[in-house]
């Protein structure tokens, strides 16, 4: 779809963000079951299950949940890396394998800690200070990205900070980009410009929408 001006795109993004946020504010979901459904659908993508290095976000509040299945990636990936934002730059750091909490029996990542003021789980300072933990963009085989909204053509709408749009061009040309979201975050058309990254597949708890089959074959 062509737009008449950059301002039109900006205005449409603002309206689309507001509409999706309204949907999410009314969303009621089972965190564990939703994560299990998302992981099941992610595993239908060969590029995901054959990746040696996976970049993936740690969910926060109303984002498609990843924390319940992060530990499962260690069964087949050589490295699982999560993001940390400093200034306008996003960097990824390799997590160490989780341990089991002695009380709950759930996997726990000692490398992650809640960061003020919002309590987002981020790599601890000691992990970020370790040069062996840094994962350069050209090392990543598959990047699983959040988004506020997606459409069936792989267009992605972020929250406005532009971290992923700046990071994606740094990836190798054959790296796969997968968007993860709730079904409620799918819309008919996402307004984009030339700077906005597109994903090669969109995964929800009920669907796998492939937008670039060549990128996903491994």
pLDDT score of 100:
81
Length of the chain: 218
Three-state DSSP state, 153: coil
Three-state DSSP state, 44: coil
Three-state DSSP state, 136: coil
- Residue 125 has a CB neighbour count (10 Å cut-off) of 11
pLDDT score of 2:
58
pLDDT score of 3:
59
Residue 22 DSSP class: H
Question: Cα–Cα distance between 123 and 134 in angstroms, integer?
Answer: 11
Question: Cα–Cα distance between 63 and 144 in angstroms, integer?
Answer: 13
pLDDT score of 10:
84
pLDDT score of 76:
94
Segments making up each domain of the chain, as ranges: 6-216
pLDDT score of 141:
97
* CATH code linked to domain 6-216: 3.40.50.10420
Written as one string, the DSSP assignment of 49-116 is HT-SEEEE----SSS---GGGGGGGGGT-SEEEEEEEETTEEEEEEPPPPEE-TTT--EE-TTEEEET
Q: What is the residue-level pLDDT of the chain in tens, covering all 218 positions?
A: 555 577 888 888 899 999 999 999 999 999 999 999 999 999 999 999 999 999 999 999 889 999 999 999 999 999 999 999 988 999 999 999 998 888 877 888 999 999 887 788 999 999 999 999 999 999 999 999 999 999 999 999 988 788 999 999 999 999 999 999 999 999 999 988 878 889 999 999 999 999 998 888 76
Cα 199 off chain centre by: 10
Question: Cα–Cα distance between 66 and 59 in angstroms, integer?
Answer: 6
Give the dihedral of Cα atoms 56, 153, 14, 181; nearest 10 deg: -40
Half-sphere exposure of 67 (CA within 13 A, CB side): 17
Question: Cα–Cα distance between 171 and 5 in angstroms, integer?
Answer: 29
């Amino acid at each position: 779809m062509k737009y008449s001006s950059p301002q039109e795109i900006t205005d449409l993004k603002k309206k689309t963000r507001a509409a999706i946020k309204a949907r999410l504010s009314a969303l009621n979901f089972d965190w564990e079951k939703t994560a299990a459904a998302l992981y099941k659908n992610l595993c239908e993508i060969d590029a995901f299950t054959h990746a040696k290095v996976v970049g993936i976000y740690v969910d926060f509040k109303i984002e498609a949940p990843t924390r319940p299945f992060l530990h499962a990636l260690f069964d087949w990936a050589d490295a699982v890396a999560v993001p940390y934002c400093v200034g306008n730059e996003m960097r990824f750091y390799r997590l160490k394998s989780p341990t089991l909490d002695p009380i709950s029996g759930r996997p726990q990542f000692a490398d992650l800690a809640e960061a003020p003021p919002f309590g987002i789980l981020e790599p601890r300072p000691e992990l970020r200070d370790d040069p062996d933990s840094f994962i350069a963009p050209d090392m990543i085989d598959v990047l699983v990205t959040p988004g506020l909204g997606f459409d069936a053509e792989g267009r992605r709408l972020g929250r406005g900070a532009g971290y992923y749009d700046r990071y994606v061009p740094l990836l190798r040309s054959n790296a796969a980009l997968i968007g993860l979201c709730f079904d409620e975050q799918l819309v008919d058309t996402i307004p984009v410009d030339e700077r906005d990254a597109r994903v090669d597949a969109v995964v929800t708890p009920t669907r796998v929408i492939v937008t670039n089959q060549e990128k996903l074959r491994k």
